[in-house]
Amino acid sequence: MKKRNRWMMGVLSTTLATSLLAGCSTGTSSSTESLKVGVAFPVSGSLAKIGQACTNGVEIAKDVINDQPNTKKIELVKADVPDATAAVNEVNRLISQEKVKTIVGFYASPLAMAASEVTERNKVVYWEVAATDPRITTRGYKYVFRPNPSAASYGPTTIEYLAKEVAPKLGLQPSQMKVAIVHEDGDFGTGVTKATKEAAEKAGIPIVGEIKYNAKQTNDMTSIILKLKELNPDVLDVVQYDTDAQLFWKQAKQLGLNVKAVIGNGAGQSSDNFGHTFGKDADGVLDTSSAMLINKQALTPEAQKLETEFFKRYKEKFGKEPDLIGKLAFSSAYVLFNDVLQKTGTTDPEKVRKQALSLDLPVGATPVGWGIKFGEDGQNTRAQMAVMQWQNGKLNVIYPENFAVAKPIMIPLPAWGERK
């Protein structure tokens, strides 16, 4: 208990110091009135497990704030948004009935695109944690903020890693390395793939095939895998959600699809479901996203303490280790609760927007390695990306070097029959 109190006081001291340096007032922090924040994720349906991880991460961020002395307490008002229709309806309810003026959500891009039309129309702040569709922050909306990277950031990072690290290990020049892309056909898959193809063209890496599918309707990947065997790529780049990622990898093994490297783009390969489901068969799979297990020396001292507290609290409260999605949600929500709402002392959208736009935190200031500097469009310009790899059940960062906690293994990836 004494140790936790010392940590809380450390965080509070940092908060006060940061506020003073920024010329911001914390004079409202002693009020007993709580700040009501809407939380809208898909906690039922096909995205339920990921949506629950997001909710859990936001819960921990709220707990950390509320356990600190002399802070404005955060009150969460939750909503389940399993599809776009529900997202619109529930956001309307949060605004009209619950009177919330700030909403954290939505994880999936289709949900975010639909719900953000409602928040913007009502001048309510929408704070994203994971959705990647570039259009979320390119429509001229005033009250949208996204600390996490957009889809446009995934492709360039993936291609950079393939060119610099994977091609030499395969004994190939980038121009000789054949890449095939398999992606779900929604906003997420389409956006990431577009950026990947553009980056590949600039790097001179040939894309030998692009196969897309509907993640909600597809229950058999056989035809996709057989097509990939015909294309015979060196590298397979996949953009998938949760259940479709598992179906694909299960059938890839059953049908003997062997490639020299596989790289995902967050979501399906970032979820702990992937590691839990496949165990050793997940080893070697790469994943471009924000950082999960990161070199602590790359983080600020405050972010190091916050990361340790997050892992400890998550396991205590939910009885399991968090996955990357939960850590993303925590990191994003903590910035809102601590660096924005504790300064404004209110959820008034104009004051929240002004404070958010004033943030200037260096790379490494959050547990996932992001810095925070929002553009006028609400996109964080310091959403640092990383490349990770499944190794013995853990998603270790292997790139960039200052973020890395492990060296890459299994490149080239052994054939299924040769794995131990």
Residue 27, φ and ψ in degrees, nearest 5: -65, -20
Among 200-204, 241-245, 247-251, name the one with the lowest average pLDDT: 241-245
Q: Count the neighbouring beta carbons within 10 Å of the beta carbon of residue 99.
A: 11
* CA–CA separation, 96 and 93 (whole Å): 5
7 pLDDT exceeds 90? no
pLDDT band at 273 (very low <50, low <70, confident <90, very high): confident
pLDDT at position 23? 33
* CA distances in angstroms from 282 to 152, 208, 286, 392, listed in the order given: 26, 25, 9, 8
User: Is there a contact between 247 and 405 (Cβ–Cβ < 8 Å)?
Assistant: no
pLDDT at position 32? 62
pLDDT band at 5 (very low <50, low <70, confident <90, very high): very low
Mean pLDDT of 343-364: 97
Task: State pLDDT tens for residues 135-179.
Answer: 999 999 999 999 999 888 899 999 999 999 999 999 999 999 999
Task: State pLDDT tens for residues 303-314.
Answer: 999 999 999 999
User: Is there a contact between 230 and 211 (Cβ–Cβ < 8 Å)?
Assistant: no
Q: Which residue has the tokens 């890496």?
A: 205
* CA–CA separation, 179 and 209 (whole Å): 7
Q: Is the dihedral of CA 329, 245, 174, 394 positive or negative?
A: positive
24 pLDDT exceeds 50? no
Task: State pLDDT tens for residues 372-403.
Answer: 999 999 999 999 899 999 999 889 999 999 99
pLDDT band at 10 (very low <50, low <70, confident <90, very high): very low
Share of the chain above pLDDT 90, in %: 76
pLDDT band at 266 (very low <50, low <70, confident <90, very high): confident
Q: Which residue has the tokens 């068969």?
A: 281
Task: State pLDDT tens for residues 344-353.
Answer: 999 999 999 9
